[in-house]
Structure 1
């Protein structure tokens, strides 16, 4: 009879060990989900113009790739620190390409159309109470006033390229992302919520100003 309690104790010990391993492995995913839920609950709302594409993920199903107006700026006012951080940047020679993966902060301004638009870009977060998105350069270059195509740069320094904000994918039920992709892009908007750290969470897809799909909360 002594062996039975020992076997039970052994099973409990094994279960506890597996549970600990699971918690250690799952902790990062749980933390990410909690952080996103906090941003959705308390982040500042922004409304963004977007276009969609409809690829598939073999493991997670159908999704739409969201291409944001604020993620593809041309002639955007740029801070000098963007050039200072780039090795081999030669503004005098007209060649200053930004390295992929460069972290940036993009200041948004509300427009008369009710949407938020990119107003300026910098490596360091600008001071003040403005609404700032944290992103990563995918590709891009810097030009000075009057350089490049006529009217391309109206500021002392300009950025043109592509920026990712971590809200470029929206997963939906089978067939829904494909249907979304057939709509006129002018009908589709994305409401995002931006935390104090500048990181955005996708809150909802809107069609004609009405919620079409919302991100689940914990």
Structure 2
């Protein structure tokens, strides 16, 4: 589970944010703080992975506090001033969500963070394509599985889109023709996705008796 700490000076707002976060699969809300001092105490106690942080705290600005937090941060603030956004980004915020907001605005960013963390599970050293891929996942795009080294995240995403768009399972030849790559290339990427559990492989026997491999996106 991904541990989330909520920090907002208004305890009612903090509860709303905590309830939204708790609705996201894979997230556990481990605490709520209302000052910078409380945030630091809860950090030491729970060691959260992510902090939902308000800018206007009574004892220290959130954009200043975040530099002392050993966790990822999403700023949730009513301050839409350009300088405030700049400070948040400079301090390391993954995203800035402005109050008031529709629930989906926060939930979608939390879901993206969960997908980002899952994409990195078990990964060792990454190449540039893999780094690009996990960062695209963090910002709400891309498939959840990490492409193998030497694979293109663009090709992997094209294959995912082709499978998702089809009502029926596809062969490697079908996928290759759809996205404009060789059958061998499509087969390599499809094998990666099967191993990652993102694609379901089934066999269909034709008149020759040789099984035809067919692939369907598992969603």
Give the structure with the higher percent strand. Answer: 1
TM-score for the superposition, normalised by structure 1: 0.20
TM-score for the superposition, normalised by structure 2: 0.20
Structure number with higher relative contact order (C-alpha < 8 Å, ≥ 6 residues apart): 1
